[in-house]
Amino acid sequence: MKTYPNPTIESIAGYVGQEVMLKGWVRRKRSSGKIHFVVIRDGTGELQGVVNKATIEAEHFERSAKLTQESSIIITGVPRAEPRASGGYEVDVTGIEIVQIAEPFPIQPKEHSTGFLMEHRHLWLRSRRQHAILRIRHEIIRACRDFFDDRDFTLIDTPIFTPNACEGTTNLFHTQYFDQTAYLAQSGQLYSEASAAAFGNVYCFGPTFRAEKSKTRRHLMEFWMVEPEMAFAELADAMDLAEGLLKMVMERVLERRQEELKTLERDISRLEAVVPPLPRVTYGEAIKLLQEKGVSIQFGDDFGGDDETVLASSFDKPVIVHRYPASIKAFYMEPDPETPNLALCMDVLAPEGYGEIIGGGQRIHDYDKLLARIKEHELPEEAFRWYLDLRKYGSVPHAGFGMGIERVVAWVCGLEHVRETIAFPRMLYTLYP
């Protein structure tokens, strides 16, 4: 039996004039009687195949007449440059093997409601747009891993089942863990702090879970975070690291995912503007800026979604806001030695209304100070015994942050909602598919 090269559609340009084999699915089919146009996709791209009755065996021509949307096929054919084709290439089909004739596909090339598409998420993934988004997501994740790996950060994965909550349990998913209750992790940070004392610079990358009843374009119940933590580091180091990470992510996507950005009709210039240095403003300056713009907000208030949007739209790149009042931040934030009611923390707000994509800062490394905070917040001291231990044995200033992957993907892709940034989003009350 004759064998053929089996290139991906993405790489078809290198096979012009050579008979090749392509394995994939029928995107759609058009017919003009004695000539069929079959668009095939293989996961890397799509290509129009021309099935001509005059030049192909009758049996194969009849097979192509039977093809339905999403039928799986293996074809042989000869690629050639074709200015009339959308990708610039076409393949003259010489043979068709049908793997399966698909039943009528629920998703048509037309408008569908969000509810219908979410119900068919497992099939929706095949669409050009979802394909582009998820490939960009992959590129972003790869950039994050490369960024930390290149800098010799050690990957230390943190647990999903945790024995107790950082603060309260109302926003956490809980489950039975034999004879005790376990909570699904809402962050790997506390464990990363332990890892940092063992390995220096570390990061974790995994899913996190929050049972908040948030039904907004920025929230998912299950989302992924990359969380670096550095020993012997302070707030400024965390800000520098965040800036470097965003730079790398943006460079990689612009370099390797041009096609996908084009599919999404993303305004590239908004992404190209993301070049360090990023603007850095204190919380106090941010409040003043909002007040000047007519927002009624006072020192001590946390930012609402609209406030973040107003603030971020004052800059053409992400803005780093640092030194929030300690009262509106987590218990473990190191106080600013110059103004102790401020915390040495920072948030990075993405432009164009995408909101907080990074949150982090310097952690309290003094035992007594941390214990006092745990008591102030009325947290169960016993549960934090191991965390307090870290402040007893060679405690050092340390800092880090968490970056929410879905919000970054939504921003880079210019999406209206984070539900499209992950293959199978877990949304409020919706667990299918």
Distance CA 48, CA 57 (A): 19
User: Closest separation between CB of residue 361 and RNA, Å?
Assistant: 8
Chain residues that interact with RNA, rule: CB under 7 A: 28, 30-35, 37, 48, 50, 52-54, 68-69, 82, 84-86, 90, 104, 106, 108-116, 118, 166-167, 171, 186-187, 189-190, 210, 212-219, 304-306, 329-330, 345, 359, 402, 417, 427, 429-430
User: Bridge-partner residues for 217, per DSSP?
Assistant: none
Q: Which is nearer to RNA, 10 or 301 (CB)?
A: 301
User: Closest separation between CB of residue 83 and RNA, Å?
Assistant: 9
Place of tokens 């305004």: 267
User: Closest separation between CB of residue 230 and RNA, Å?
Assistant: 17
Whether residue 290 contacts residue 311, with contact meaning beta carbons closer than 8 Å, is answered with yes
User: Closest separation between CB of residue 354 and RNA, Å?
Assistant: 12
Q: Which is nearer to RNA, 277 or 304 (CB)?
A: 304
Contacts of 89 (CB under 8 A, 6+ apart): 12, 13, 16, 47, 79, 80, 81, 82
Q: How many CB atoms lie within 10 A of CB 260?
A: 22
Phi, psi of 242 (to 5 degrees): -60, -40
User: Closest separation between CB of residue 427 and RNA, Å?
Assistant: 6
Q: Which is nearer to RNA, 225 or 412 (CB)?
A: 225
DSSP H helical ranges for 34-98: 58-66
Distance CA 200, CA 398 (A): 9
Closest CA to 224 of 88, 1, 421: 421
Q: Which is nearer to RNA, 217 or 256 (CB)?
A: 217
Closest CA to 403 of 290, 167, 243, 279: 243
User: Closest separation between CB of residue 431 and RNA, Å?
Assistant: 9
Distance CA 55, CA 57 (A): 7
Q: Which is nearer to RNA, 309 or 314 (CB)?
A: 309
Q: Which is nearer to RNA, 77 or 95 (CB)?
A: 77
